[in-house]
Amino acid sequence: MFKELDPLLHSQLRLAIMSLLISVEEADFVFLKEKTKATSGNLSVQIDKLNEAGYIKVTKTFQGKMPRTICNITSKGINAFDTYVKNLKTYIK
C-alpha cells in the first residue's frame, strides 16, 4: 500500500535543503546555495516555506556588516523527514 508523501518535502529543492540540514548541525545560506546550486531567490522562498511549516529554524545574524542566515533542522523537521523516507520506501519496494 502506497503511503502519501508529504507535499512540502516532495519538491526537489526543499528535499535537498532538508537532506543537507539532516546531516549537519547548522548551515549558512551560502552553504545551502553552494550545495543545491539553486538561485538565491528560489532558495530563499523554499527556506521560508520550510520555516513556516516549522521544519527548520532560521536565525538571522550579522557577521561584521554582512547579514547572515543560519538554518538548522527542528525535531518536527526530523520527524517529517523520517516519515517521508519511510513512505518513500513503500514506493521503491
Partner 1 sequence: METKFTEQQSLAVINEMIDRARNNIQKGNANSLIFHGYTVALVAIANFILVNTLPDELAAKSFNLWWLMIFSNIIDYFIKRKTDRSKIVRTQIDGIISYIWKGFIISISILLIVLFAMAIFNPYKVEYNWIFFALITPLIMIMMAIAEFGMAKACRYKPFYLGAICFWAGALLCVLSYIILRRGDLQFLILAACMIVGFVIPGHILNKKAKQNV
78 near partner 1 (CB under 8 A): no
Least spacing, CB of residue 10 vs partner 1, in Å: 7
- Residue whose C-alpha cell reads 556588516 in the numeric block: 65
For residue 92, state whether it binds partner 1 (rule: CB under 8 A).
yes
Four-CA torsion 60, 64, 66, 72, nearest 10 degrees: -30
Binding mask 7-46 for partner 1 (x = CB under 8 A): ---xxxx-xx--xx-xxxxxxx-xx--xxx----------
Q: How many residues bind partner 1 (CB under 8 A)?
A: 26
Q: Which residue has the cell 500500500?
A: 1
Q: With CA atoms as reference, report the closest residue to 19 among 70, 68, 71, 59.
A: 71
For residue 27, the Cα-to-chain-centroid distance in whole angstroms is: 10
The residues pairing with 63 across neighbouring beta strands, listed in sequence order, are: 66
CB of 73 to partner 1, least distance (A): 12
Site for partner 1, rule CB under 8 A: 5, 10-13, 15-16, 19-20, 22-28, 30-31, 34-36, 63, 85, 88, 91-92
